Structure 1
Amino acid sequence: MNSTEIQEIDQVEAKIGTEEASPVSKDEVPLSTGSLIFHEPGINCCIIAIMGYKSKLDPAVIKEGLKQTLIKHPCFSSKLVMNSGKKKWIRTQVNVDNHVILPEVDTVMESPSQFIEDYVTYLTRIPIDLSKPLWELHLVNLKTPEAEAVGIFRIHHSIGDGMSLISLLLACCRKSSDPKALPTLPKQKQADSRHPHPHGFFRLFLAIWSVLRLILNTLVDLLLFVATVVFLKDTKTPLKGSSGVEQNAKKIVHRTVSLDDIKLVKDAMGMTVNDVILGVTEAGLSRYLNRKYGEVDRGKGAEQKSNHLPRNIRLRATALVNIRQTAGIQKSKVKWGNQIGYICIPFTIALRNDPLDYLRGAKAAGDRKKLSLEAICTHLTNKCVVKLFGSKLSAALVYRVIFNTTMTLSNVVGPVEEISLYGHPIAFIAPSVYGHPQALTCHFQSYMNKMSIVLAVDPNVIPDPRLLCDDLEESLKIFKDAVVLAKDAD
């Protein structure tokens, strides 16, 4: 981190103050409306990020790096306090040794991957310590099939959303090829200006039609959102959690697939990476549920058939959408916290004769959501409810939406080249979240030419998450084969 960046953070540090400040001074910072919700029962969430490294971890180097970067940011050096019945952040002196945890491990154990999986599950059982800044880093010097060592970040969701936190984390990293350079994120492609643009009356007509569609789609989405709060529930399937699921420990597994394969499908179908991810998810869930219902049918002695799916399954994903106008690697000038809105994405659970129909449907759903202000409206609604009625009511509404849908879905863009955290090259990044009322959470995280598919599941509901990973991976393979075959046929 260069001197300018440190100076920016020091300026913020001076504004927030220290632990010795007066309890009623302006140095105390109220929690944002989004952060307040994440401290309410049922939505008390933590982000957990598993990071594999290509070398053994040096705890002393990492601690010194944290002192010079991460804990200079007020989000990671402020603790939660109650003052006059209100939750606030107050700056404190951070003892890095209390946040960097070094578990003792047997380096010759039979299954290191299982140990990491069990260790992460253990972390989801225990609450984070509220007496200090709400984050911790577990360093496990244990070789697995994918890495020489593993680091596990656990961060309370009230500190920030996934986009702001990974932006801050990346600001602490450097390119492995250039230790002085920040990581590079993919650039968003601009619209192709080679196509002729409509003029005159037709252009005016398209503009009016787009506005009307935007208004109509937003109204429909908000009505469905309200209906989900009040009564509209997803079908009870082998993926749907029951009451109290947010209190259960979670098992987190991940699978690495080729980002180049996703881009190949994207380019062939004329869509976005997000569209391909939606298609892969819909196809993978359909394969998994068909197998599960098939097991039930065979147990009842039903006749053999290939399609065991019930008709008209309602299955939706709640997606958290970043509403910041600023993208990329951010430092102290960006507005931190939880700047997110909620949208509900419906999936059509069915077996398709043409596998590319999953992608076509996903693109149509994605295009439809782009012409809606659902995320902005839900974000503003949350803010208004918190200010008028308090965070408990807002959290209750969010709880109803999440509980009445089946899963949470997220896609976070990562660096395009290998990066290092304080001199330790990173092999993979696998983030997830727990503490919300669902049995399934699916995150997609890109890094270099790879994509990590990360599942957080309640093992009481989904005892075989690796099988679901298989189905998601196989769906991508089927898409790739189909587009390659179609290209060859042309």
Structure 2
Amino acid sequence: MGQLAGGNNRDEAPTTPLTRLSIHPKHNHVILCAIGLKNPIDIAALKDELSNSIMIKIPRFSSLLTVDPHHGTEHWKKTHVNLDDHIFIQHDDDDDDDDGGDAINCYLANMAISSPMSLNKPLWEVHIMHQHKCLILKVHHAVADEQGPEILWDGPVYILFSAVFLFQFLAKCLWAKDKETVISGIEGVEFWPRKVSTASFSIADMKAIRNAIPNVTVNDVLYGIIWCGLTRYLNIRLPKAVQDGVQITGICPVNLREKSGVQDVSTMLLEKSKAPWGNKIGVVLLPITYFQQELNALDYVAQAKEVMDRKKHSTVALLCYNMANLVSNLFGSKIGGDCLYKLSCNTTFFLSNIVGPQEEISIATNPVTFIRVTSSSQPHAITMHMASYAGKGYLQIQVAKEVIPDPEFLARCFEDAFLEMKKDANNCVRCH
């Protein structure tokens, strides 16, 4: 249970509704970020870097999540950080591959279904895979949730689309379930053994694909890649196992912060910062209609754009964010958490996209070679996290291996779809 506290002194801060949802027993959402390094890891240098870093100065990284034994309410309580309690060294003897990609993904897959993080210390850890020159940062989602109250409604903009999409969101939270297919999960699938694979893309080539179709965004391109890749996976691996015309649904988090992108953490901590610390995340639903007769690769991007354009002509992401806060405040975090868990059970996949540093960075003077992100397993058989770094995009594909035993092939389906889109985009440029 962690330490107990009354929550009445200046070293304590209240939790937000989203924080309470994130520690719901059915969620307990943990973010896993694998960071590859060019040179062997110097533990002493790493500890020195961490002890003097801005990260340790962020209140959430140096606070305990405590529970009032009398009222059952949670608070953040400042504490001393002992780095030795947060750093774990893995002496991995696996040398089957040069870059350690398989070993790193295997380790991430095991971490995705590991025990919940202890509340007896701040909710973050660093795992070091010495042989593969890789750091894995494990952070509970509660650490990133926003502080401070939010208004409920932000104006009745695009009323029609907003109402339709909000109804779809509520329906998925309560009763409307995707038609079951061979890639669907079931309640409890988050505890099944996992596998992780990686698909990689050139950001410059994604932008070239974007430029081949008017008003397309990089997010539309990623959505199109997922749509095309899943279709090809089903057609090759499981032909005719899914009914033609079936629609499956994905959950996609949307950043609602006024200032997006990578920010200077020191400025985020300022009292009147325009981009204060904390997540502000809404949700949109991404429909994918499966057709056994495949489209031209770029047509999937065009379809993705059409769907996203309708989403953009609504305030559905903000409404979903405020609705989650409202339900949690009115009915408590248990009911709110149950609704969000039901949302995951009633959909088929999860997709996120994070914009990382555009230039190469280093940790304790050790150059970073890649950044890959995944999370603890959710009630989906497929979860996908895209993170960009220094001109490359890394899509981490995490699956329940009893449902999808070959995520490596699924990764190739996404990469092949991307390469075909790139080829078609180049042909479009030459035609014009």
In the other structure, the counterpart of 1:129 is 118
- What is the CA deviation profile of residues 391-412 of structure 1, one whole-angstrom value per residue up to 9, with x for unaligned ones? 0111111111121011111111
Question: Which residue does the alignment assign to 1:71?
Answer: 56
Specify every segment of 5 or more residues in structure 2 that has no aligned partner in the other structure, as ranges.
147-154
Q: Is the 8 A contact 1:102 1:140 kept in 2?
A: yes
**TM superposition shift of 1:21:** 9.5
Q: SS of 1:473's equivalent?
A: helix
Q: Assess if the C-alpha contact under 8 Å between 2:200 and 2:393 holds in 1.
A: yes
Q: CA deviation at 1:337?
A: 3.5
Match of 2:213 in 1: 269
- Number of equivalenced pairs: 407
- Match of residue 473, structure 1, among 415, 418, 429: 415
The CA deviation string for residues 337-368 of structure 1, in whole angstroms up to 9 with x for no partner, is 34111111111222434322111111111111
Report the 3-state secondary structure (helix = DSSP H, G, I; strand = E; otherwise coil) of the residue aligned with 1:55.
coil
**CA separation of 1:121 and 1:309: change in aligned 2, threshold 3 A:** closer
Counterpart in the other structure of 2:176? 232
Among residues 102, 105, 110, which one is paired with 2:89 in the alignment? 102
Partner SS state of residue 335, structure 1 = coil
Aligned AA for 1:39? I
Q: 1:225-374 to 2 correspondence within 5 Å?
A: 225-270=169-214, 271-294=216-239, 309-327=242-260, 328-331=262-265, 332-333=269-270, 334-350=275-291, 351-374=293-316
2:119 is paired with a residue of what secondary structure?
coil
Q: Are residue 25 (structure 1) and residue 12 (structure 2) matched?
A: no
Match of 1:417 in 2: 359
Query: In structure 2, what residue type is equivalent to 1:79?
Result: L
Residue identity matched to 1:290: N
How far residue 216 of structure 1 moved from its aligned partner, in angstroms, is 0.6
Q: Is the Cα contact below 8 Å between 2:249 and 2:286 reproduced in 1?
A: yes
Deviation larger for 346-355 or 451-460:
346-355
How far the C-alpha of 1:110 sits from its partner, in A, is 6.5
8 Å contact 2:172–2:342 — kept in the other structure?
yes
- Kept after mapping to 1: 8 A contact 2:91/2:131: no
Residue 90 of structure 2 aligns to a residue whose secondary structure is coil
**Residues in 2 aligned to 1:237 and 1:20: alpha-carbon distance in whole angstroms:** 45
Query: 3-state SS of the aligned residue for 1:102?
Result: strand
What SS does the aligned partner of 2:125 have? strand
1:209-220 matches, cutoff 5 A? 214-220=158-164
Instruction: Give me the whole-angstrom Cα distance separating, in 1, the residues matched to 2:208 and 2:319.
Output: 34
How many Å separate the matches in 2 of 1:481 and 1:355? 9
1:54 aligns with 2:38: yes
Length-normalised TM-score, structure 1:
0.79
- The aligned counterpart of 1:14 is none
CA contact (8 A) 2:7 2:13 kept: no
TM-score, L = length of structure 2: 0.89
- Equivalents in 2 of 1:248, 1:128: separation in Å? 18
Q: Summarize deviations over 1:77-131 as a string: whole Å, max 9, x none.
A: 1111111311111011000011111112327567744332332223222322221
Contact persistence 1:402–1:438 (CA under 8 A): yes
Q: Which residue matches 2:135?
A: 151
In structure 1, distance between residues paired with 2:378 and 2:349: 10
8 Å CA contact retained: 1:35, 1:337: no
8 Å contact kept, 1:413–1:446? yes
Distance 1:397 1:65, change over 3 A: same
Residues of 2 paired with 1:463 and 1:284: CA distance? 16
Pairwise CA distance, 1:309: 4.8
1:141 and 1:71 map into 2 onto residues whose CA distance is 23
Structure 1 or 2, whichever has the larger Rg, is 1
Instruction: Measure the CA separation in 2 of the matches of 1:44 and 1:21.
Output: 21
SS at match of 2:31: strand
| Residue of structure 2 equivalent to 1:80 | 65
1:176 corresponding residue in structure 2: none
Q: Call closer, same or farther: CA 1:47–1:20 in 2, change over 3 Å.
A: closer
Check whether the contact 2:231–2:294 (CA below 8 A) recurs between aligned residues. no
Matched, 1:400 2:333: no
1:193 is matched with which residue?
none
CA contact 1:258–1:449 (8 Å) conserved in 2: yes
Q: Which runs of 5+ in 1 are unaligned?
A: 1-18, 144-148, 165-210, 298-307
Deviations 1:420-463 (A, max 9, x none): 12211111111111242111111111111211111111112111
SS of the equivalent of 1:431 reads: strand
**Contact 1:241/1:439, CA 8 A, preserved across alignment:** yes
CA shift for structure 1 position 20? 12
The corresponding residue for 1:120 is 108
Contact 2:129 2:135 in 1 (8 A): yes
Q: Does 1:391 align with 2:333?
A: yes
Which segment drifts farther, 480-489 or 220-229? 480-489
Structure with the largest fraction of helix = 1
Give the Cα separation in 2 of the matches to 1:484 and 1:473.
17
User: 1:257, 1:374 → 2: CA distance?
Assistant: 29
SS in 1 for 2:223: helix
Amino acid at match of 1:336: W
Q: Distance in 1 between matches of 2:278 and 2:181?
A: 34
Does the 8 Å CA contact 1:101/1:138 hold for their aligned counterparts? yes
CA distance in 1, matches of 2:391, 2:421: 18
SS at match of 2:238: helix
Deviations along 1:280-303, one digit per CA (max 9) or x if unpaired, are 110001101112332xx6xxxxxx
Identity of aligned residues (%): 32
**C-alpha contact 1:246 1:435 (8 A) present in aligned 2:** yes
SS of 1:80's equivalent in the other structure is: strand
Structure 1 CA distance for aligned equivalents of residues 252 and 371 of structure 2: 20
Residue 430 of structure 1 is matched in structure 2 by 372
- 2:259 aligned counterpart, secondary structure: coil
Does structure 1 conserve the Cα–Cα contact (< 8 Å) formed by 2:255 and 2:280? Answer: yes
Contact kept? 1:47, 1:155, Cα under 8 Å: yes
